[in-house]
Structure 1
Amino acid sequence: MLDSAILCVDDEEIILRSLRDQIKKHFGNSYIYECAESGEEAWEVIEELTDDKIQIIIIICDWLMPGIKGDEFLIKVHQRFPKILKIMLTGQADTVAIERAFSEAKLDYYIPKPWDEAQLIAAIESGLKKRYD
């Protein structure tokens, strides 16, 4: 059974599908791939995975979402799970929100939308190498 997961959080289903497909195409069956359409749904996924003893290693998160902005969500994630690699993938965040995410959530990478698949995969690989080697 797999024991590591990658979580994508975005309020647009097409974005989630695209992210999951691109990441899975590169990493294959090495990880569990989960998606959530809001911060609230993401917390439900996080709780389920944690209960099942599955470690979330990466969260890729949009900034502009209903309920909670991506920087606020990632700050809460960091407070509880500081070792998770955090990537903000957005076309909407302002510089204050991005700086706040780097400062308070220890954001690992910011990637603007529309994203380049190679840049996304390189950020994930670099982050994994830096964090888990």
Structure 2
Amino acid sequence: MAVVADLAIETRLRMAGLRPTRQRVALADLLFAKGDRHLTVEQLHEEAAAANVPVSLATVYNTLHQFTGAGMIRVLALENAKTYFDTNVADHNHFFVEGPNEVLDIAMSNLEIDNLPEPPEGMEIAHVDVVIRLRPIQR
């Protein structure tokens, strides 16, 4: 089963214009094996270590940015100085749960965005990211 998954990952990397190196394949397999999710460089590095994939933190960082540049994932930068990488590249928005720093998807059908400002001349709006911050109710 892992061989079939690796072939699919290799094909996906090639289609994105990336050479399927051993490290890219291993990191992509870890990243995409669990469906849509949000994780940091450090979290993927920890998963790689737990799976006995020998990669440095810098390699994970560089690989995630290569995946982003190739359109395979997208970046979600939050105010808390953490950068999350989102495996769901379709238009959608997020809840951010303060404390555990958890990111959750919001379905686009649940949110309407109206009255956006006109972009400057020669520019167009590429995407609107909405992050709704949550915290437990204080009693």
Same fold (TM over 0.5): no
Greater length-normalized contact order (CA 8 Å, ≥ 6 residues apart): 1
Larger Rg: 2
Q: 1 or 2, which has the higher helix percentage?
A: 1
